[in-house]
Amino acid sequence: MSLRALLSSSSLAMATRVLKCNPSSISFLPSSHEPQISCPETLDSLLEASNHLVDLLRPVAFPTETVYGLGASALSISATSQIFAAKGRPPDNPLIVHVSSLQMLDILLAPGFTIPQPYHKLIRSFWPGALTLLFPSNPDVVPSIVTANLPTVAVRMPSHPVARALIAIANIPLAAPSANSSGKPSPTRPEHVLRDLEGKVGIILDGGPCDVGLESTVVDGLGTDGNIRVLRPGGVTIEDIERALQLDIVAGQRIPQVLVHGRDFRDKEMEDTPTTPGMKYRHYSPAVPVTLLMTLSPPPEKVEAISAANYLADLKNLRQDSSRPFKVGLLASTDSALSMLPLPTDGLEWHRHSMGSKTDLAFAARSLFDGLLTLERDGVDLILVEEVDQRDEGLAVMNRVRKAAGETKWISFC
């Protein structure tokens, strides 16, 4: 029985409807959080989704500028527990709460909490946008299922017009993880959500592909040292955060340091709990094995780089079914040393997915999850992902690829 047939015969299955939402028909007046919607179909879709969220207390999948989210009322235990069920998400992995205004943020905060000065700068520079900030949580407002009992709650104000309008119309903060089964790559197109969660979610709002293509940057600025700790690199780059913190510095004022988890600090206690995104659980892995090809960085001590031509030709030896070629997905830049090599065809069939020019790291970010999910759908046997430069969006790209890859190979071109 196919998965689709199995799901529709199961008592848990529900009909999934994909409702069109045209982001360019939604606008916000300057300094207003009220959406103006010019397209009747988009308005109908948003009203129906809002009804699903508020009156039925059911989750809805919706586009954000980073990835698609699976949202439900952050104030309801029953609504948020359905997110965990649909994703198969472990209960100790907390959710990000999405707001559409600073007034909505206020409702979530612990009484008496004063927003630290660096947060004001980050909010001014990046909200609405791909930055998530940790705040002390108020368990009287946000149930502990959302925060996994942590003393903090992660909050972000998305910039995607459909996400902003949906939250504003529903008039409730939405807890929303990425709209994928736990452990899979995050969806960046409505068809990714449908393929993964059909029968498990009632409504998917189709707002087209996501601009950023990987998740928000998660930042903790609550430490007593006043520094900014980046728990997960993402859509807002470290370079952008450093620049924002330097704005309007007056003489004698200290600029907070920006410390990146895994690069500048580690925290054993945190790594044992899932508060560092992607630490405890398997992440971002398609159903197909992924190999990371390190083509820029030198190999670690005692590891030898393999010649690129030999590595590619030897892939045919992985073939288990000699009646057909071994299908290899290649997620690579268009102008890298690897992309210049002729691809061997003996016993191999190649499926390329472009990561754009090696200097366009925003394009690489937009292409990564889309590429993994597209190549998985195309039925390849193995996906090769080429290393990108670890600056700007490249840091987040490499963070996700390392977690998705079961194997890493160092490749040389001489």
User: Which residues in this chain contact Mg ion in the complex, by CB under 5 A?
Assistant: 178
Note whether 188 binds ligand TXA by CB under 6 A. Answer: no
State which residue has the least CB distance to Mg ion: 178
DSSP assigned state of 29: -
Note whether 147 binds ligand TXA by CB under 6 A. Answer: yes
CA–CA separation, 239 vs 392, rounded Å?
6
Binding string to ligand TXA for residues 264 to 303, with x set by CB under 6 A, is what?
----------xx-x--------------------------
Task: Give the number of other CB atoms < 10 A from CB of residue 154.
Answer: 26
Element (H, E) at 405: none
Cα–Cα separations (whole angstroms), residue 238 to 39, 69, 122, 283: 37, 23, 12, 22
Selection from Mg ion, ligand TXA, none that 132 binds (CB < 5 to 8 A by kind) is ligand TXA
Count residues near ligand TXA (CB under 6 A).
Answer: 26
- Look up residue 304 and give its two tokens: 């030898």
Selection from ligand TXA, Mg ion, none that 96 binds (CB < 5 to 8 A by kind) is ligand TXA
Selection from ligand TXA, Mg ion, none that 105 binds (CB < 5 to 8 A by kind) is none
Please say whether the beta carbons of 399 and 218 come within 8 A. Answer: no
Pairing of strands 68-73, 174-175: antiparallel
Q: Name which position in 170, 176, 260, 383 contacts ligand TXA (CB under 6 A).
A: 176
Nearer CB in complex with ligand TXA: 69/173: 69
CA–CA separation, 342 vs 353, rounded Å?
16
Task: Give the number of other CB atoms < 10 A from CB of residue 123.
Answer: 18
CA–CA separation, 390 vs 397, rounded Å?
8
Selection from Mg ion, ligand TXA, none that 387 binds (CB < 5 to 8 A by kind) is none
Selection from ligand TXA, Mg ion, none that 367 binds (CB < 5 to 8 A by kind) is none
Note whether 122 binds ligand TXA by CB under 6 A. Answer: no
SS3 86: helix
SS3 content of the chain, % helix, strand, coil (to 5): 30, 20, 45
- Residues 220-239 touching ligand TXA, rule: CB under 6 A, are 231
CA 261 to chain centre: 17
- Look up residue 89 and give its two tokens: 């998400």
Q: Name which position in 64, 73, 188, 336 contacts ligand TXA (CB under 6 A).
A: 64
Question: To which residue do tokens 């089964």 refer?
Answer: 181
CB of 87 to Mg ion, least distance (A): 8
Q: Measure the N-to-C terminal CA separation of the chain; round to a whole number of Å.
A: 50
- Residues 87-116 touching ligand TXA, rule: CB under 6 A, are 93-96
Note whether 404 binds ligand TXA by CB under 6 A. Answer: no
Q: Name which position in 80, 100, 101, 216 contacts ligand TXA (CB under 6 A).
A: 216
Stretch that binds ligand TXA, among 210-218, 292-300, 352-360, 391-399 (CB under 6 A): 210-218
Stretch that binds ligand TXA, among 41-49, 121-129, 213-221, 253-261 (CB under 6 A): 213-221
Task: Give the number of other CB atoms < 10 A from CB of residue 316.
Answer: 16
SS3 404: helix
Stretch that binds ligand TXA, among 211-219, 221-229, 320-328, 382-390 (CB under 6 A): 211-219
Nearer CB in complex with ligand TXA: 14/148: 148
Element (H, E) at 331: strand 326-332
CB of 42 to ligand TXA, least distance (A): 20
- CA-angle at 133, arms to 129 and 135, nearest 5°: 145
Stretch that binds ligand TXA, among 63-71, 312-320, 363-371, 406-414 (CB under 6 A): 63-71
CA 274 to chain centre: 16
Half-sphere exposure of 260 (CA within 13 A, CB side): 18
Nearer CB in complex with Mg ion: 68/311: 68
CB of 395 to ligand TXA, least distance (A): 15
**Contacts with ligand TXA, residue ranges (CB under 6 A):** 64, 66-67, 69, 93-96, 132, 134, 147, 150, 152-154, 156, 176-178, 215-216, 218, 231, 274-275, 277
